[in-house]
Amino acid sequence: MKKSKVGYLIIAFLLVWALAQFFFLPATCSAESAYMITESELVTLEQNSTRQLAISSKLALELQIAREQLMVSDQELTEAKLQINQLQKQLTESGSLVEETGRIAAENLEILATVRARGSAGDRSQD
């Protein structure tokens, strides 16, 4: 009886071991092997990493400067638009003043012509 129990235990152990190998063998075969790098490769990686960090820092600084310049440009654009509006208003007012000046000049010429006509006729009764 003891032999049969020991035999069953051996068979069960072998069966569990075989199943474990069946399920875990693909996992161990497909696992990536560890990659060992040399000291010179490590130094090169560190240098490249340092360069990339420096470039990233410079790009971040340039981006910040560009954003600030964009804000300044936006402010200048807004101010320029306001100046254009003011100049258009002044131009419109100037056009109105030129028209009024022309009308007044025409009236003055009529008055001057009337005064000359009276003066040459010798008529001073309406003075």
Residue-wise pLDDT for 18-48, tens only, equals: 888 877 776 666 656 667 889 999 999 999 9
With beta carbons less than 8 A apart as the criterion, state whether 73 and 81 touch: no
Within 8 A by CB and 6+ apart from 124, the residues are: 118
Structure tokens at 54: 């420096």
Give the residue-averaged pLDDT of 89-111. 92
What is the average pLDDT score of the chain? Answer: 86
Residue 50 has pLDDT above 50, yes or no: yes
pLDDT of the residue at 37? 84
pLDDT of the residue at 125? 58
Q: Residues, the chain, total?
A: 127
pLDDT of the residue at 31? 57
pTM for this one?
A: 0.46
With beta carbons less than 8 A apart as the criterion, state whether 86 and 78 touch: no
